[in-house]
């Protein structure tokens, strides 16, 4: 089919042409005297993205999943107790990894469509008088259900009961799209990846580690090698890596960071909220459908998970959009398989792209027999965009 495939999944996201051009480079010696300038510039830029003065960014040739494993194995001893909440497929997978790696994993079950249950975290931590819980895990943005959680409130809950556990945050589908504040929120390890808000291809695990977490890594006994923080920190100090990095990805990362900082992070967050607002208007005001997120306080600004009416199959909407309209939407996963489809609105996106996503989702639903009013979603989204500003401080 002529034309590009429309990519509206919540990762991988669209890579800007400017970033693609930056990645078209000849291969070079990653041990050369020139190479550290590139790596050190990326690390300095990432500190601004993570909003940290004292944290240490680390880049692994992996996905965000590799950074999940790194957080657990670097900072904890075998059998340590871990507290995590499960309210979607990705929070489930991190909990599952923790258990498979041999940690004593205590899972707080929450309804899919809700965010992290802060009060339950607080109660469990308050009852842990002997401080056996060594790490608290949370997903800032649960991609499977289109739900965001309040990391700042979780830190307040931990502080209110004076619990010393490390705080690990999965910000894979939030970083550089939804506000994240490493230092202010007292996050010890933030886990992310290249293929979401950082607007790069998949393949780079992006993480940032606090001084407290690095101190824990000096003494933790869990086996690790490829994902060893200490190896990375020692090599990175001089601008090098303990093994071969992806040089084109580093050039792309440098350019992506430059784009984000030129726009201004607060404008980036506002733009994501603005684009998400138009999609939500299409879903609820136009199509009269519901989101998987059960309350506005949970709504994600990077992905909307749209419930299809009872008796219809969200997977068929996705298949129809792909086969007939050359468009990719996100699938329902695990518990919500077939119950919804997902529109990603993060990274390199604007109103025209979102209006296209809404229009194609609408015709695909109509083709599948879902009784939405033709044109209603585009009208609602368009009205929202006409009535709101994509940038801060403008009318």
Neighbours of 386 (CB within 10 A): 9
Instruction: Summarize the confidence of residues 251-266 as an average pLDDT.
Output: 98
Give residue 4's pLDDT. 87
Shared-domain flag, residues 237 and 332: no
Give the SS3 label for residue 20: helix
Q: Give DSSP secondary structure letters for 299-345.
A: B-SSEEEEEPPTT--HHHHHHHHHHHH-EEEEEP-GGGTTTEEEEE-
Is 11 part of any domain?
A: no
Q: What mean pLDDT do residues 331-354 have?
A: 97
pTM to 2 decimals? 0.97
Residue 198 is assigned to a structural domain of this protein: yes
Mean pLDDT throughout 220-245? 97
Domain shared by 111 and 211, yes or no: yes
Where a domain ends, among 262, 279, 296?
Answer: 262
Is residue 35 situated within a structural domain?
A: yes
CA proximity to 301, closest of 176, 148, 171: 148
SS3 114: strand
The helix/strand/coil state of 135 is strand
In a domain, 307, yes or no: yes
Pick the last residue of a domain from 220, 238, 262.
Answer: 262
pLDDT, tens digit (0-9, with 9 covering 90-100), for 361-390: 999 999 999 999 999 999 999 999 999 999
**pLDDT higher than threshold 80 for residue 395:** no
Q: Helix 376-387 and helix 265-281: axis angle, to 10°?
A: 150
Same domain assignment for residues 275 and 201? no
Residues 235 and 377 occupy one common structural domain: no
Position 271 in a domain: yes
How big is the CA angle at 204 (ends 188 and 67), to the nearest 5 degrees? 35
359 falls in which pLDDT band (50, 70, 90)? very high
CATH code, 369: 3.90.1150.10
Q: How confident is the model at residue 192 (pLDDT cuts 50, 70, 90)?
A: very high
**Domain total for the chain?**
2
Are residue 254 and residue 283 in the same domain, yes or no?
no
Task: Assess whether pLDDT exceeds 80 at residue 46.
Answer: yes
Q: Give the mean model confidence (pLDDT) for residues 82-86.
A: 98
pLDDT in tens, 89-132: 999 999 999 999 999 999 999 999 999 999 999 999 999 999 99
- What DSSP assignment string belongs to 169-212? EE-TTTTTTS---TTTTT-SEEEEETTSTT---S--EEEEE-HH
Task: Give yes or no for residue 282 having a pLDDT over 70.
Answer: yes
Contact 264, 172 (CB under 8 A): no
pLDDT tens digits, 312-330: 999 999 999 999 999 999 9
107 shares its domain with 238: yes
Instruction: Find the CATH number of the domain harbouring 94.
Output: 3.40.640.10
What's residue 144's pLDDT? 97
Alpha carbon of 185 to those of 1, 51, 205, 319, 335: distances in Å?
47, 10, 21, 41, 31
Average pLDDT, the chain: 97
57 contacts 50 by C-beta, under 8 angstroms = yes
- Residue 395 placed within a domain: no
Domain membership flag for residue 394: no
> What is the band of 255 on the pLDDT scale with cuts at 50, 70, 90?
very high
pLDDT given for residue 1 in this prediction: 64
Q: Is the pLDDT of residue 287 over 70?
A: yes
- CA 380 from chain centre, in angstroms, equals 27
The answer to whether residue 353 is domain-embedded is yes
By residue range, what is the domain housing residue 288? 265-387
pLDDT of amino acid 225: 97
Quick: pLDDT tens for 204-225: 999 999 999 999 999 999 999 9
Residue 127, C-beta contacts closer than 8 angstroms, at least 6 positions apart: none
How far is it, in rounded angstroms, from Cα 85 to Cα 124? 12
- The domain boundary, picked from 211, 240, 262, lies at 262
SS3 state at 148: strand
pLDDT at 2: 80
Same domain, 178 and 84: yes
Report the share of the chain in percent with pLDDT over 70.
99
Average pLDDT over residues 214-237: 98
């Amino acid at each position: 089919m002529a034309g590009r495939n429309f990519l509206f999944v919540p990762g991988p996201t669209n890579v800007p042409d400017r970033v693609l051009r930056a990645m078209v480079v000849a291969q070079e010696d990653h041990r050369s005297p020139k190479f550290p300038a590139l790596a050190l510039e990326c690390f300095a830029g990432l500190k601004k993205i993570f909003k940290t003065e004292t944290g240490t960014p680390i880049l692994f040739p992996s996905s965000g999943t590799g950074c999940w494993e790194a957080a657990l194995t670097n900072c904890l001893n075998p059998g340590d107790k871990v507290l995590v909440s499960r309210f979607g497929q990705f929070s489930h997978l991190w909990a599952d990894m923790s258990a498979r790696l041999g940690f004593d994993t205590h899972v707080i079950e929450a309804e899919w469509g809700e965010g992290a249950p802060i009060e339950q975290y607080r109660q469990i931590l308050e009852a842990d008088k002997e401080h056996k819980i060594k790490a608290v895990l949370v997903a800032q943005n649960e991609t499977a259900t289109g739900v965001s959680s309040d990391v700042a409130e979780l830190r307040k809950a931990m502080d209110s009961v004076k619990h010393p556990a490390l705080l690990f945050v999965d910000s894979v589908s939030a970083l550089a799209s939804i506000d994240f504040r490493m230092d202010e929120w007292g996050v010890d390890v933030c886990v992310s990846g290249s293929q979401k808000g950082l607007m790069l291809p998949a393949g780079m695990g992006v993480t940032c580690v606090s001084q407290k977490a690095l101190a824990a890594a000096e003494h933790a006994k869990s086996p690790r090698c490829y994902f060893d923080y200490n190896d990375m920190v020692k090599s990175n100090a001089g601008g090098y890596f303990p093994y071969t990095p992806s040089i084109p990805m580093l050039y792309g990362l440098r350019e992506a960071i430059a784009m984000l900082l030129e726009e201004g992070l607060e404008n980036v967050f506002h733009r994501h909220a603005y684009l998400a607002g138009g999609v939500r208007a299409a879903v609820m005001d136009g199509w009269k459908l519901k989101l998987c997120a059960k309350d506005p306080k949970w709504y994600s600004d990077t992905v909307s998970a749209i419930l299809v009416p009872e008796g219809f199959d969200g997977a068929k909407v996705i298949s129809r959009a792909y086969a007939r309209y050359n468009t990719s939407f996100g699938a329902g996963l695990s518990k919500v398989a077939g119950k919804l489809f997902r529109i990603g609105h993060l990274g390199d996106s604007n109103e025209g792209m979102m209006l296209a996503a809404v229009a194609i989702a609408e015709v695909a639903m109509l083709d599948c027999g879902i009784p939405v009013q033709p044109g209603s979603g585009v009208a609602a989204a368009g009205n929202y965009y006409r009535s709101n500003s994509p940038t801060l401080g403008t009318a």
